Amino acid sequence: MCGRYAQTLPPDAMVDLFEAEPANDLPEGPRWNVCPTMQIPVVATFGGRRRLLPMRWGFLPHWYDSPTAGPLLINARAETIATKPAFRDACRQRRCIIPATGFYEWTKAADGTRLPWYFYDPSGAPLVFAGIWQPWGPDGLRTCAIVSCAAGPTMAEVHHREPVTLAPADRALWLGEAGQGAAVLMRAAPEGRIARHRVSRAVNSNRSEGPELIAPLTDAGDV
């Protein structure tokens, strides 16, 4: 977890929300079905200034000689992020935040069919994932991963992991702007921050797009 999410905030809204300077090559949006290896909007701090810029979702350690030289690292486990060789330097030096409208997770029906759920902030505010990033290759391609932790009560009924989500007051600490101690933020969301509903199986295809993907499943049944 997290393996798919939605990101529908326009660049201007993200610039205002995170007080960040935008890059000129941000990925087009909105996207209701963001998949690994896509370019995604990410906020990181450089020289004390926040920037909103694109990164590849799929962290590439410096020893990979190609993007497919090892496992696709889209998540970094909070329990091992500070010690795992792929992530430990980024955890200390290159933390970022990843805006999202919501994210998806799946359960299985008795016949093995994958049944998608959509998770979101019930207040309508965006979710903000804790992330880490890594430059890779001779051109310094920026790549990132979402930090995950053991699931809290809302998530645990569907999946045993959840993305670490940051409250507004915690973002500066995660980005390294407010001193040390960011490790305490790598925990499940408090009760009430995340809600969920079932959505159409259309999102099971990575080619699907559109706002209907996050709509609650109707009484007509799964489609």
The catalytic site residues sit at: 2, 105
Determine the distance from the C-alpha atom of residue 108 to the mean position of all C-alpha atoms in its chain, rounded to a whole number.
23
For 46, list phi and psi in degrees, rounded to 5: -125, 120
Dihedral sign from CA coordinates of 7, 9, 12, 18: negative
Distance in angstroms (rounded) separating the CA atoms of residues 222 and 107:
13
| Residue 112 burial (C-beta neighbours within 10 Å; 0-12, 13-18, 19+) | exposed
Contact partners, residue 16, CB within 8 Å, separation at least 6: none
